Homo-oligomer: A and B are copies of this chain.
Amino acid sequence: MTTTSTSRRPATDEPGYDAFQAACPSRQLLDRISDKWSTLVLCALGGGDAGPAAGGGPADGVPRPMRYSELHRTLVGVSQKMLTQTLRTLERDGLVTRTVTPTVPVTVTYEVTELGLSLRTAVRAVKVWAEANVEAVTANRAAYDASVD
């Protein structure tokens, strides 16, 4: 292992962001995006992922603009504070766009950006995994708890 420059380190100046490091900005970013609401918002805006039986709906991965109220209805149980806060953060990070249409009652639509869409691919996999493996995990928990005497 003397020659570490075999395949790693492309000799170029790699930024070298490492989430394992406490001070690395990617650590904070990971903490941000590793959030229940962020994940669900991104998934909702991504479209083609409305329910567990989805697949025959709209094309998967195609951004679908949604209104605030629509998101509020989709993410069952989310408070407006958390929804607004999440959306603000996502907007600030350039993951979603916020469009205000000055209609009679103001209309606000949110849409996932291209950057957000790339993250959505990743977090959607986590959401899908959770939905697919919740039964296995539940069973494991029961077995674990039973083995604890």
For chain A, the count of residues having a C-beta within 8 Å of the partner chain is: 71
Using a CB–CB cutoff of 8 Å, the interface residues on chain A facing chain B are 6-10, 14-22, 25-27, 29-31, 33-36, 39-40, 43-44, 50-57, 74-77, 91-95, 115, 118-119, 121-123, 125-141, 143-145
- Option from B118, B135, B141 in Cβ contact (under 8 Å) with A92: B141
Bound-state Cα–Cα, A53 to B57, Å: 39
How far, in Å, is A124 (CB) from chain B's closest CB?
9
* Known contacts A121-B125, A144-B94; is-contact A130 B10 (Cβ 8 Å): no
Residues of B within 8 A of A144 (CB): 91-92, 94
- The answer to whether B34 touches A140 (Cβ under 8 A) is no
Residues of B within 8 A of A94 (CB): 136-137, 139-141, 143-144
State the 4 A-B residue pairs at the shortest beta-carbon distance, nearest first. A7-B56, A94-B140, A22-B77, A122-B125
| 6 cross-chain CB contacts under 8 A | A6-B56, A7-B56, A10-B53, A18-B51, A30-B39, A92-B144
By beta carbon, the residue of chain B nearest A19 is B127
How far, in Å, is A148 (CB) from chain B's closest CB?
9
Bound-state Cα–Cα, A20 to B132, Å: 14
